[in-house]
Chains A and B, each alone.
Chain A
């Protein structure tokens, strides 16, 4: 039987090793980039809700305080979704026949929950606590963006570990006075470094070497 491959096929065979390695690495990188991409994580994508509630109208135009609906944010690790009773506090008298509110009225009378869609996600291995953040000078808009300008809410950035560490390493760059927590259009002052350092001391925020310990966020 004669030779099937010519002599220079040896070179091709050797090159194919490198090409294979290159392909594997590229695939790995592309997969990595894809799973970290905003498209995959639905960042900046408005999530449709069963009730077309507009934060832009309620929090923005009407100026309803964040706490009015998200009562538990200062005492609890999670910021609650309001009960139908909270909606009905106003909507038993305002826009009482609106078809957009049919689900709310139904839920209020039957007690069946409305199936809201989750917008801001952290992995289950992250134990994020809202109360500690709002009580120690981290404002809502820091992570959630300008919710008062969102007709339908979206997550404005991916919550990667690096994102959290930005602040856990240098809290003085981000903390605000407690009376500014719910201020959606808060702009950090020119002397943020100075003010931040003072607030860090005043609020008793842990030093970065403790704040970046694994157990702070992972249990």
Chain B
């Protein structure tokens, strides 16, 4: 007597679940979730110091950050602060400067630039007032240079300290010039008369 092969469905129920279950179980792992690639700030055992993100090699220059224009990068002409804005003065520049000023400078110098802010109020620091005579007469290169290298109170060799740190690593040179231009605008704003406002804009005063 010839034995009948069982029905396909029966065969599947008997043995088919084995590979299915194997597939299902083998899919339960986190290899995709935690990939071997190193993401920002992830540690890595590959390097001796355990850092995944590598420090810059000394002398490395980022793409587009080569210093080709000394005045643009330092605000100095032969070591002396220049009084020329090396970018075109436009409304957009001042608006960019205002936005950046309110992020970086206003925390200490205050939004109006009088050196009064929540942080200054709590004591410990004395931010400069932009409306003092010395800074109103300072060339724009001075404002830029201070943002670039910071300010020292006294001689560092004789107990002096850095009262303002350099912002060069955080604010791009373009933005530092925009901020310098905006500080100039702030200074003008405190010594302006209604006649300085263009006639078609005077209706906006006091709004």
Interface residues of B in 157-198 (CB under 8 A from A): 161-165, 169-170
Task: Identify the B interface with A (CB < 8 A).
Answer: 32-35, 37, 39-41, 51, 55, 102-104, 107, 118-119, 122, 124-125, 161-165, 169-170
Interface residue? A103 (CB, 8 A): no
Partner among A61, A88, A90 whose Cβ is within 8 Å of the Cβ of B118: A61
Partner among B35, B107, B164 whose Cβ is within 8 Å of the Cβ of A64: B107
Closest to B166 in A: A85
Q: Are B165 and A88 in contact (CB under 8 A)?
A: yes
Whole-angstrom distance between the Cβ of A211 and the nearest chain B Cβ? 23
Q: 1/0 per position for A68-85, CB-CB distance to B under 8 A?
A: 100100000010010101
Q: Are A125 and B33 in contact (CB under 8 A)?
A: yes
Closest to A31 in B: B28
Interface residues of A in 95-134 (CB under 8 A from B): 95, 111, 113, 116, 118, 123-125
Q: Are A90 and B41 in contact (CB under 8 A)?
A: no
Q: Are A67 and B33 in contact (CB under 8 A)?
A: no
Chain B residues within an 8 Å CB radius of A3: none
A65 CA to B164 CA, complexed, in Å: 18
Whole-angstrom distance between the Cβ of B22 and the nearest chain A Cβ? 15
Q: Are B125 and A124 in contact (CB under 8 A)?
A: no
Task: Identify the A interface with B (CB < 8 A).
Answer: 61-65, 67-68, 71, 78, 81, 83, 85-86, 88-90, 92-95, 111, 113, 116, 118, 123-125
Q: Are B118 and A62 in contact (CB under 8 A)?
A: yes
Whole-angstrom distance between the Cβ of A32 and the nearest chain B Cβ? 11
Partner among A65, A86, A93, A95 whose Cβ is within 8 Å of the Cβ of B102: A65
Chain A residues within an 8 Å CB radius of B119: 62, 90, 94
Closest to B31 in A: A124
Evaluate whether A124 and B33 lie within 8 angstroms (CB atoms) in the complex, with A90-B119, A92-B161 already known.
yes
Q: Are A92 and B102 in contact (CB under 8 A)?
A: no
Q: Are B107 and A68 in contact (CB under 8 A)?
A: yes
Whole-angstrom distance between the Cβ of A161 and the nearest chain B Cβ? 13
A120 CA to B33 CA, complexed, in Å: 14
Evaluate whether A93 and B35 lie within 8 angstroms (CB atoms) in the complex, with A62-B119, A71-B170 already known.
no
Q: Are B103 and A93 in contact (CB under 8 A)?
A: no
Evaluate whether A78 and B33 lie within 8 angstroms (CB atoms) in the complex, with A63-B118, A65-B102 already known.
no
Q: List 8 A-B pairs, minimum CB-CB distance, nearest first.
A: A124-B35, A94-B124, A89-B165, A65-B103, A123-B33, A78-B40, A67-B103, A125-B32
Evaluate whether A68 and B103 lie within 8 angstroms (CB atoms) in the complex, with A62-B119, A93-B125, A125-B35 already known.
yes
Closest to B32 in A: A125
Whole-angstrom distance between the Cβ of A55 and the nearest chain B Cβ? 15
Q: Are A123 and B103 in contact (CB under 8 A)?
A: no
Closest to A179 in B: B99
Q: Are B165 and A123 in contact (CB under 8 A)?
A: no
Chain A residues within an 8 Å CB radius of B118: 61-63
> Can you identify 7 A-B contacts, CB atoms within 8 angstroms?
A68-B107, A81-B41, A90-B119, A90-B125, A92-B161, A93-B124, A94-B122
Which of B34, B39, B41 lies at the interface centre, i.e. has the most chain A CB atoms within 10 A of its CB? B41
